[in-house]
A and B are shown apart, each in its own frame.
Chain A
Amino acid sequence: MRYLCLIYENEKAWETMPKDQADAVFGEYFTFTEGIKQAGQHLGGEALQPTQTATTVRVRNGKVSTTDGPFAETKEQLGGYYLIEARDLNDAIQVAAKIPSARYGSVEVRPIMDTTGMDGA
């Protein structure tokens, strides 16, 4: 079963973090990613640019509107994700708990919807 692990954390913390500390976190991420790759659980994953680079798009009455930034002001922002393969939710929780940011921010674990037979074909 596939799960998306959405990583939320305070992106401001990154701006003020000393370089050696940030390097240490990057190192942890590298080790984590290698680990789940070797375990065959890594299906994808990326880190995102901070929310100041974000644009929100909506279409209303056929008209496209764009606004600067994310939709809501929150303490934690979406900073990256992993798409993983896991046996079940317990397995997925174990993987999510090893994501370095789980210790500072939070990781939302969402099962991927099975859309077979839903394509209308």
Chain B
Amino acid sequence: MSTQDEVRERIDQVYRSDSRRVLATLIRLLGDFDLAEEATQDAFATAFDRWPAEGVPANPRTWLVSAGRFKAIDRLRRRATFDSTLAPALRLLGDSVEQPEIDDEQVEDDRLRLIFTCCHPALGRDAQVALTLREVCGLTTEEIAHAYLTPAPTLAQRIVRAKAKIRDAKIPYQVPTRSALPSRLSAVLHVIYLVFNEGYSASSGSSLVRHDLSTEAITLGRLLVELLPEPEAFGLLALMLLHDARRAARVTADGELVLLDDQDRSTWNRAQIVEGCCLVEKALTTGPVGPYGLQAAISAVHAEALRANETDWPQIVGLYDLLLRVEPTPVVELNRAVAVAMRDGPAEGLTLIDSIVRRGQLADYHHVHSARADLLRRLGKTNEAIEAYERALNLNMQEPERRFLSRRIAELRGA
């Protein structure tokens, strides 16, 4: 391989490892997302031109930030000759050749600034997700559109609007203050978890798992833990790793859903489970435990059982009790009821689920009806079970789950 090829390969490598860092810092220096994106591309193009002859600089990242900034100032100067409104932006940049100091700690802060800005609560949830995947993960608009089964122009417009709001409403490029951190962090965690879930359990369509999004979410989770080692960040990463460890066992080769009880546990990713369990420890010991840490702990108890009938249900019910205290929602109540059914028997679980439904909650949530159906089936109440499976089927959008429910109905009718 020639030196030229080696340099090219090195640039590719730097692009993969550092292009998001370079972008994050350029957004701070230039104060504008679009300008910073163009500048990042320009910086790498310049590297392609110059590194083969001049050699790879000692600190490629600093070199790229500096090159990007100069290119942006060039661009603004050229545009300013046609558009006088750009003059203030140029003045703001100092219009000078003076190079701002770029130290590594600040660069890491820039990455956090970028995450918190993309997940700012003043942006809509869909916009937060799209912007995070675009800017923090570096996915193209087409890739995001494909993953969300959304037309690319719709997604592009969502991103354009979000950037316009950041600029026009002046959403600051900052890591939140200590006092605002808990609520702001929970917005970031929520976005990451949404991305993970869309990958893990796509909300519609024929494929049960869109793996790319799960992988992106786990990468985001790792980045967050590295930058901000908060208990709930550990908890979320643990939760995603533990769920994802079961990926291979969750779906058959022809795309059919396999329930936790029936999964071939030898195909679970043990290394990922070990890592997930370590992170659960950290989530439970580094501070007040939150919903992600508790859900991860529940997932860890499942993961530790080598056979389904060895599951420590009393411990799972105990963890759901704690979860219900920090997150008193009917969905958590439903999951607790299912765990109670496993510990104490289907009749006890059914009583709890029916009391949720009687309060008028979750009536349109398909999991309520499939959970009820399963307990009724185990109690031998075949007709009621069929009825509940049919309600679940009517409410469910996901093809593999629909096929699973249909199979159950056919089994009961045949019985």
Q: Which residues of A contact B (CB under 8 A)?
A: 1, 87-91, 93, 109, 111, 117
Contact = CB atoms under 8 A, between A and B. Distances in A.
10 contacts: A88-B171, A89-B120, A89-B170, A89-B172, A90-B172, A109-B169, A111-B168, A111-B170, A117-B84, A117-B85
A49 B318 CA distance: 55
Given A93-B122, A117-B85, A87 B172 contact: yes
Contacts of B169: 89, 109, 111
**Interface residues of chain B: helix, strand, loop or mixed (majority):** loop
B157 interface: no
Q: Which of A1, A88, A109, A117 has the most CB of B within 10 A?
A: A88
Interface in B171-225: 171-172, 174, 176, 180
Nearest to B121: A93
Contact of A90 (B84, B168, B174): B174
Q: Is chain A's binding surface mostly helix, strand, loop or mixed?
A: mixed
B85 A89 contact: no
Nearest to B173: A88
Contact of A89 (B84, B171, B176, B180): B171
Contacts of A93: 122
A84 to B, nearest CB: 13
Contacts of B120: 89
In the A-B complex, the 4 residue pairs with the smallest Cβ-Cβ separation, listed nearest first, are A88-B172, A88-B170, A111-B169, A89-B171
A93 B169 CA distance: 11
A68 to B, nearest CB: 34
A1 B172 CA distance: 12
Contacts of B180: 90
Interface in B348-383: none
A109 B85 CA distance: 26
A117 B89 CA distance: 14
A91 B170 CA distance: 10
Contacts of B174: 90
Contacts of A91: 172
A117 B83 CA distance: 12
Contacts of A1: 170
A117 B169 CA distance: 19
